[in-house]
Amino acid sequence: MAKKIFSSCRLDRAHGSPYDCGNKDSYYRRGRNPHYYEYIYPDPENRVRIDHNLSYEQHKEYNKGYDDNEKLGDFKNYGDFNDE
């Protein structure tokens, strides 16, 4: 009997997901650098950045997050650096 592979159509927007990281990179005006975080429980501050060997789906999710924020135009205001 063949194994059935389940692929969720639901986009993961959780903190640290590829979508979330893409969204935040756009917000902070950083360039595209696909990555995500894996959290090591029970300590939520203990995380590992994964920026290599991302799957095709993870790349798509990262780019979707980045593109969604670019369309929204929600960017961090760093203020005027010329103020003295």
Tell whether 44 is covered by a domain.
Answer: yes
Tell whether 62 is covered by a domain.
Answer: yes
Distance between CA atoms of residues 46 and 25, nearest Å: 20
Number of domains in the chain: 1
- In this model, does residue 3 exceed pLDDT 50? no
- In this model, does residue 22 exceed pLDDT 90? yes
Interval 59-80 mean pLDDT: 96
Range of the domain at 55: 18-72
Q: Which residues of 39-67 are buried (b: 16+ CB within 10 A; e: fewer)?
A: eeeeeeeeeeebeeebeeebebbbebbbe
Tell whether 4 is covered by a domain.
Answer: no
Tell whether 13 is covered by a domain.
Answer: no
Tell whether 54 is covered by a domain.
Answer: yes
The tens digit of pLDDT for each residue in 34-64 reads: 999 998 887 777 889 999 999 999 999 999 9
Tell whether 84 is covered by a domain.
Answer: no
